[in-house]
Structure 1
Amino acid sequence: MANFVLSLHASPSDSDACLSLLNFAKSTLTSGHKIDAIFLYQEAIWHASEHFVIAKDEVQLSEQWQDFVDEFNTPLLLCITAAEKRGLNIKSTGPFTVAGLAEFAMSVAKADKWLQFK
């Protein structure tokens, strides 16, 4: 079985990229593989914002993230550099844990595969 690291680069307004990542992650984990971390980078940091509001008739990604963590307990890492650069409140990030690029790089170095979702 393989170890994966996934990274998301798309904002919540691009729900297709996020849903593709979540569907891939669920399939990967239920197939017996391991995901060491999911890293949110660039515009994906907005998934952790309490001020990013999605219309009620659209997919509620914050609920999707929470459900995923509750079911699979996979670390969701939020790039501190990207978050601070964009003024995100890093003290309130929901199911996401603030992490640096070094931590992400170490995870990728140990993984069998790294996939980006943009």
Structure 2
Amino acid sequence: MARFVLSLHTPPSDHDTTQRIVKFANACLAQGHTIDAIFLYQQGIYHASTHFDLSSDELRISALWQQLADQELNLMLCVTAAQKRGLDIKNTGVFKVAGLAEFAMLASDADKWVQFK
């Protein structure tokens, strides 16, 4: 079975890409593959923000991330991208703050790195 690292580069408002990464992660796990990490980068760091409120008819993004966290996936966000965009890195929900070096090491050890943009 393959080991994957996934990265998400789009904001929460891009529902299509958010749904694609979640479906891809679930499909990988269902087929017995391993996901070493999902890394939020660039505008993707906003998925870790606790400061947006979605209306009831919008995609429940935080619930999707919680479901992946419940499967004990390593959910990470880039500390530099988060700080540059004013994200509170002490309050990131299910996401662990990490650096690009840590992400690069995970990606180099994985069989496949898949970007979602």
Q: TM-score, normalised by structure 2?
A: 0.98
Deviates more, 1:11-20 or 1:46-55: 46-55
- Cα separation, 2, equivalents of 1:33 and 1:88: 32
List gaps (5 residues or longer) in structure 2. Answer: none
- Cα separation, 1, equivalents of 2:90 and 2:115: 26
Deviation at 1:53, TM superposition (A): 2.0
- State how 1:21-100 maps to structure 2 within 5 Å: 21-70=21-70, 72-100=71-99
List gaps (5 residues or longer) in structure 1. Answer: none
| Number of residue pairs aligned between Structure 1 and Structure 2 | 117
Say which SS state the counterpart of residue 115 (structure 2) adopts. Answer: strand
Give the CA RMSD over aligned residues. Answer: 0.7
Matching residue of 2:115: 116
Matched, 1:16 2:22: no
Per-residue CA deviation, residues 71-93 of structure 1 (Å, 9 max, x unaligned), is: x2110001000000001000000
Give the AA of the match of 1:47: H
Structure 1 vs Structure 2: percent identity of aligned residues? 58
Per-residue CA deviation, residues 45-79 of structure 1 (Å, 9 max, x unaligned), is: 11111112222101110111001211x21100010
Question: Structure 1 stretches (4+) deviating beyond 6 angstroms?
Answer: none
